[in-house]
Amino acid sequence: MTTTEPEAIDAPVFDGDPFSMEALADPIGFDGRVRELGPVVYIEKYDYYAVTQWDEIQKSLRDWRRVSSSDRPFYEPNPYRPTVLVLEDPPSHTKNKAAAMAVLSGENLAKFEEYFAAEAKRLVTEILANGPVELDAFHDLSVKYVLKVFPDMLGLPEEGRDLLLKFGDGVFNVFGPDTEFQRQKLAGAAPAQDWVERNTYREVQKEGTVGWQLYELADAGKLPEEDARQVLKSIFGAGFDTTTASIASMIRALADHPAEWAKLKANPELVDNTWEESIRYYPASRFGGRWAKDDLVVGGTKIPAGSKMLMMWLGSGRDHRKYDNPDTYLVDRDLTGGHLSFGFGIHTCAGNLVARLEARTLLKELVKQVDTIELTGEPRQAMNYQAFGHEYVPVRLTPKA
């Protein structure tokens, strides 16, 4: 007896607006509802295909020769959009990613770890010096920490560092429709964009820093000088907004789930898994873009050649086909199969090792020094086309006796 593959079907059509204020206010709920329409959904308003379910996203990302990164929905030239890494395919992507990994891993990462740990200890000790304290875990903890350690790593001047958050906000609002919301976001980020441009040129890089090392690679013929500047700009764009927001989201998740915080305190070896569960539960990026170079069948659904595509990271983190009880936060969840919150395959986020190191190092220090984390008000999610996170997380930290 022979069996035949079922015939591929056309994608279900969704006539709503994933970039409406309603959707941006509740992207987890909105993207979850779209996910349940099918593994691939045609977004009629903007003429693109959303790949919504975990398995089909991963399979698509493996197929980088046909599912290309060089184009995507809302792909218009913009000064906030770096021209390398995210929007490249091999061979140029291979060369530029190798350069990024060379300066964000290995010996550099070991140096970062020692410095990050010292700064995390200093900051948490300072915060808890006078006993229980109420603060905003986004601005007073996550931002204060990340805007110290990461710019130091890059050799950036002290003055103007706060602009990096505005720059990240601009970067992650580029990929979406031209609306008054987007125009306001980009206008607010304009001074930051100017600051970043000035600080990515060769002449301002301090010896030994990440930027200096990238230009050294250019001098060694491993990448063109302009690509070195664009790789550095990509690091600027991806290294602040999502990291600060995701650390704050992690603290919000722990405050919302005191039993999980108690479990973590009793088993500090769960720190790494806690971070991975947090970034699954609250991914820092809502989606990534691709385009179909050939006719495709994804999850039994047809995607015509030339179609623009979005890979829906945020929805994939709550896909019940992949995770048991996906809306439940568990610091000891079995994450053997991983998550897609940093992407997958050749386009896995180049800065993921640094982001993981920053978050885990700060969390280790909190586990050492903090007894309880309690919400004192209603957290506020940031409104953003592509990034996801919390911009306000009011908590009370009580130190250990």
pLDDT of residue 334: 95
pLDDT of residue 93: 76
Say what the pTM is.
0.92
Query: Distance between CA atoms of 392 and 244, rounded to whole angstroms?
Result: 11
Q: How confident is the model at residue 83 (pLDDT cuts 50, 70, 90)?
A: low
Whether the CB-CB separation of 214 and 200 falls below 8 Å is answered with no
Q: How many percent of the chain have pLDDT more than 70?
A: 97
Quick: pLDDT tens for 134-159.
999 999 999 999 999 988 888 888 89
Task: Give the lowest-confidence range in 15-19, 125-129, 212-216, 292-296.
Answer: 212-216
Average pLDDT over residues 72-94: 76
Tell me: pLDDT of 37 over 80: yes
pLDDT of residue 348: 76
Quick: pLDDT tens for 388-399.
999 999 999 999
Where in the chain are the domains? 13-399
pLDDT of residue 358: 92
Tell me: pLDDT of 5 over 60: no
Domain 13-399 architecture: Orthogonal Bundle (1.10)
Quick: pLDDT tens for 281-329.
999 999 999 999 999 999 999 999 999 999 999 999 999 999 999 999 9
pLDDT of residue 324: 96
Quick: pLDDT tens for 84-94.
666 777 888 78
Q: How many percent of the chain have pLDDT more than 90?
A: 65
Q: How confident is the model at residue 100 (pLDDT cuts 50, 70, 90)?
A: confident
Quick: pLDDT tens for 39-71.
999 999 999 999 999 999 999 999 999 999 888
Quick: pLDDT tens for 332-383.
999 988 999 988 877 777 678 888 999 999 999 999 999 999 999 999 999 9
How many degrees, rounded to 5, is the angle at CA 271 between CA 108 and CA 155? 25
Tell me: pLDDT of 230 over 70: yes
pLDDT of residue 84: 64
Tell me: pLDDT of 3 over 60: no
pLDDT of residue 2: 43
The whole-chain average pLDDT of the chain stands at 91
Quick: pLDDT tens for 258-280.
999 999 999 999 999 999 999 99
Query: Distance between CA atoms of 349 and 39, rounded to whole angstroms?
Result: 23
Tell me: pLDDT of 78 over 90: no
Quick: pLDDT tens for 164-217.
888 888 888 999 999 999 999 999 888 888 898 899 899 999 998 888 999 999
